[in-house]
Chain A
Amino acid sequence: MASVGKYVVGRLLQAVVLLAVVSVITFALIMAAPGGPAILYDPSITADEAERIRALLGLDQPAHIQYLRWLGNVIRGDLGTSYTLGLPVAEVIAHRLPATLLLSGASILFAVALGIPLGMLSAVRRNSWIDNAVTAISFMGMSIPVFWYGLMLMILFSVRWRLLPAGGLETDTVASTLKHLVLPAVVLGTVHMAEITRYTRASMLSVLHQDYIRTARSKGVKETWVLAKHALKNAILPVVTVIGLLLPKVATGSAITEQVFAWPGMGQLAVRAAYQRDYPVIMGVTLVVSVVVILCNLVVDLLYVYLDPRVRYE
C-alpha cells in the first residue's frame, strides 16, 4: 500500500506542473483570439474611456506580465474579479459549480443505471430483437443533436403537457429541484447512456467468450453468478474508462444543455465568459475544471488497482 501512497504523491506533483502548462496555453489562446472584453466595445463608449478601462484592467501590459500577475494572484488564492459580473471569480464559480455537479451527477447516474444493464442485456441476448432495439436506441442517442432533443422534450413536457418546468433551477424544495432536474439530466444522460451501452455490450461480448467463463459454466455455476461475479467484474474495466472520461464533465457541464435549459451552471458561465472575453472568469474556470479532470483521472486509475489485480504502479 505504501507504493500506492507514493504513486498518489507523484501524480499530485505532476498535477501541479500540468496545471501550470494548461494555464499558460489557455492564456496564450485568449491573447491570440481576436476581439476583446465586451465592455470595451459598448456603442456609447469613447476612445479615451476604452483606453482608461483597458489600463485599469491591466490589459495594456505585455502578455507575459499579465500572465505573471494573474499567476501571482492565484498563488495567493485570488482568482481575480469578473469584468462583467463585478464579483470575485472564486465566488462566481462557487455559485455555479454545485448546479453543474448536480446536473452532471444526475445525468451520469442516469446513464450508468440504464447503460450497464442495457449493455449486458444486449450482449447476453446477442442478435435477438432486444439486442437490435438497444443497438438502435444507442445509435440514436449518440447521433441526436442535443439542442433539438432538449427543445423537443421541453415543448412536450413543459409547453404541451405542463408536467415539468421549462428550464431554470429552483432549489426551494427537494421536489422543485428534482422537477427542474429531470429534463436536462435525461437530455445530457441520453448521449452518455448510449456510449456506456455500446461499451458494455462490446466488453461483455469479448469477456463472455473467454475460457474461464466456459469453465465456470461447465462447473455448473448459476448463470447469474457467472455474469455478475466473473463476467461483469472483468468487463467493467473498459466501461470504467469510459465513465472516467465522463467524470470530468461533472465540472465542465454541457454548454449546450445548460443554454437550452437556462441551467445556472459552469457550462453557461464558460460560454458567456468566452463570448464576452471575460478573461479572469475564463482563466478561473479553466483552472477549476483542470483540477477536477486531473483528480478524476487519478481516482479512475486508483480504481483500476482495485478492480484489476494485474495492474500495479511502480
Chain B
Amino acid sequence: MGWFGNRKRALILVWAAAALLGLAAAAAAQAPQRGGTFTLPISDDPPMWPIQGGIYNILVNKLIYDTLVRYHPETLEPVGGLAERWEVSEDGLAYTFHLRQGVKWHDGEPFDAEDVAFTFQVWMNPEVPYYLRANVSGVDRVEVLDPYTVRVHMKNPVASFPVLLGYNMSILPKHRLEHLSAAQLANPVEFLRNPIGTGPFKFGQKVPGSMVRLVANEEYWDGAPYLDAFVFRVVPDVDTQVAQVQAGDLDMAIIEPYHLDAVRNVPGLRIEEAPQVNHFYIMLNHANPIFADRAVRQALSYALDRQSIIDGLMLGMAQPATGPISPLISWAYTADVVQYHYDPEKAERLLDEAGWLRGPDGIRQKDGRRLSFTIDVDPHPIRQGIALVAQENWRRIGAEVNIALYEYNVILQNARSQPPKYDANPNWLVTPPDPDISTYYASGSPGNTYAYANPEVDRLLELGRATVNQEERARIYHEIQRILAEDAAVLYLYYPSEIRLVNDRVQGLAPVGYRDGLAWAHKIWKQ
C-alpha cells in the first residue's frame, strides 16, 4: 500500500483513539467520584437534636439521622426510608411499617423496632416539648409485632401520616436515650456532645459558633456516601456566604434574586433553580371588618400586579401562585381555579358595586369606615418590595395603605394572637409535600393566622384528611383550592424557586429544594 496507505490507516487509528478517549472521558465525567468535602453554610449553631426545630438544625439532622419515610428526590412522593415499605388498613386506622434489616447505629448497635417504638414514645410524651407534636396527634398507640415490624394504631384516619413521618421526624437511638427523664429529653446535653443516628454521615467534630463537621458513614444502608466529609459552616450573613462561595471556601449557598447580577457568569460557579414546596402570599386579617368583606379581598387581589413582583423582585425565579398547594404536589394541585390576573378596572368596579365609594379625599369608604389599613413587614428586601408594590397598586384603586416595619419575631407573635393583631402582611409558608392544609385554614386552628372561617372548607379539610384513597383525596383538595381562590382568603403571590449558587465541581445534588433534597446527601459528589 505504500506510504499513503499507512498514513490513511494511521489517521483512522488516530480518529478511533480520539473517539474512544472522548467516550471514556464522557463516561468518566458522568461516573461519580469518591472523596472530597462539601461545605454548606448555615445561619446559626445547630443543636443537632430532632426534637427541636430551626432550619439550621433540620439540615444537619437530615445527614446524621434517618426518618421512616423519605421523599423522592424529584417528585417528593413518599418512598422507603428506615421503613422499607408499609401498608395501611382499609379504614385508615392501622399502619404497618416493615423496617429495613441490617441497619446499624453509628456506634455499631443494631437498629430495630424497639428504636421506632421508643421514638414514638418520645414524640407523644406530653412532658417533652416537641415542635412537631401535631404530626402524631392522631396516633393512639404503637405496637411492636416483631423486631422489624411496627404497627401504628390511629385514633382517626390521617391520610397524610406517611408523608408527615418523612418531615424531619428522625428516629432516635433507644439504647442511648431510654434512661433520660422527660426534662432531659427536652435537651440531652451529654448525648448531643456526640449524637448518633443511622444517617449517611456521622458526627465528627463541632466548633461552637463556627462549624460542624460530619464524616461519611461507610456502612450506610443506602450505600456509602461519595463524599468523605460534609461540613456545615456558621455564616450568618448572606452576602458573606456569597463571597465565600466565590472565594471557594463554600461549595453552595442559597441566594436571593438580587445577588444574581453579581454572580452570573463567574467562572467555576453555576446558578441552579430548584423547585420547592413554598408559597408567598399577602395574608389578610379577617377579624378586621374591612377584610371580612369578600369584595374587598377580591378587589385587592385583582388590583395587585403579581407579574411585576415576579419580574421585578424575583427576577423571574418564581411562578404565579393560584393557591396554597404547591404544583410540586402534582396529584393534588390544580390550576383550574379563578385566577386574579391584573385588572385594576375590575377591582374598582367590584368595590363600587360593594358600596365602597370614593370619598372627597379619594379614599373609599362604606358605612363610615374608610378603606385604610397598614401592611406590617419585616426588613427583608423582597418582602419590603412586595409591601411597596402592594401599597402603590392599592393606592390607585382608592385604598389608604401605610407600611409598618417590625422584626419578624414580632410579626409572628402578632399573627398568632387570638384574634390576630395585624391588617396585612407579606409572608411565606413551607410545608410537608402533602395537601393537608388544615392547620392553616381550619377555623380556630392556631396556624390559621388570618381568622379565616368557612364551614364548607372546614368540612372538606376534615374529609380530605380522613380519605385514604388518593384519587378521592385529589378531588376534595381540588374543591378546596377552588373555594379558597374564590374567597380570596389570602392573596397568593408566587411559588418561588430556590436559587442556588454552586461550585461547578459539585454534582449529584437532588433537583428539589435542599430542605428536602439533603436527605439524599449521600448521592452528592465532587469532581
B243 touches A151 (CB 8 A): yes
| A198 within 8 Å of B (CB atoms) | no
Partner of A262 from the list B52, B192, B240 (CB cut-off 8 Å) is B240
A262 touches B410 (CB 8 A): no
Partner of A49 from the list B130, B208, B209, B211 (CB cut-off 8 Å) is B130
Nearest-neighbour CB distance to chain B for A272, whole angstroms, equals 6
| B187 within 8 Å of A (CB atoms) | yes
| Contact partners of B14 in chain A: CB under 8 A | none
A275 touches B407 (CB 8 A): yes
B210 touches A151 (CB 8 A): no
> Complex: how many Å from CA A44 to CA B169?
12
| B53 within 8 Å of A (CB atoms) | yes
| B359 within 8 Å of A (CB atoms) | no
> Complex: how many Å from CA A199 to CA B410?
42
| A132 within 8 Å of B (CB atoms) | no
Which of B131-139, B349-357, B389-397 interfaces with chain A? B131-139
Nearest-neighbour CB distance to chain A for B138, whole angstroms, equals 13
Which of B114-122, B231-239, B454-462 interfaces with chain A? B231-239
Partner of A167 from the list B47, B52, B126, B244 (CB cut-off 8 Å) is B244
Nearest-neighbour CB distance to chain A for B305, whole angstroms, equals 28
| Contact partners of A48 in chain B: CB under 8 A | 133
A165 to B, closest residue via Cβ:
B249
| Contact partners of B210 in chain A: CB under 8 A | 168-170, 264
Contact A168 B131, CB 8 Å, known A35-B413, A84-B47, A85-B45: no
Within 8 A of B (CB), among A80-112: 81, 84-88, 92, 95-96, 99
Which of A153-161, A206-214, A229-237 interfaces with chain B? A153-161
Nearest-neighbour CB distance to chain B for A78, whole angstroms, equals 13
B52 touches A269 (CB 8 A): no
B412 touches A88 (CB 8 A): no
| Contact partners of B385 in chain A: CB under 8 A | none
| Contact partners of B45 in chain A: CB under 8 A | 84-85
A-B contact pairs, 13 of them (CB 8 A): A39-B54, A41-B413, A44-B134, A84-B52, A84-B54, A85-B47, A92-B208, A95-B209, A159-B243, A166-B247, A167-B244, A168-B210, A168-B244
Name B's A-contacting residues (CB within 8 A).
Answer: 44-45, 47, 49, 52-54, 126, 129-135, 137, 183, 186-187, 189, 192, 207-211, 233-237, 239-240, 243-244, 246-249, 407, 409-410, 412-414, 416, 429-430, 439, 446-447
Name A's B-contacting residues (CB within 8 A).
Answer: 34-36, 38-39, 41-50, 52-53, 56, 81, 84-88, 92, 95-96, 99, 151, 154-155, 158-159, 162, 165-170, 259-262, 264-265, 268-269, 272, 275-277
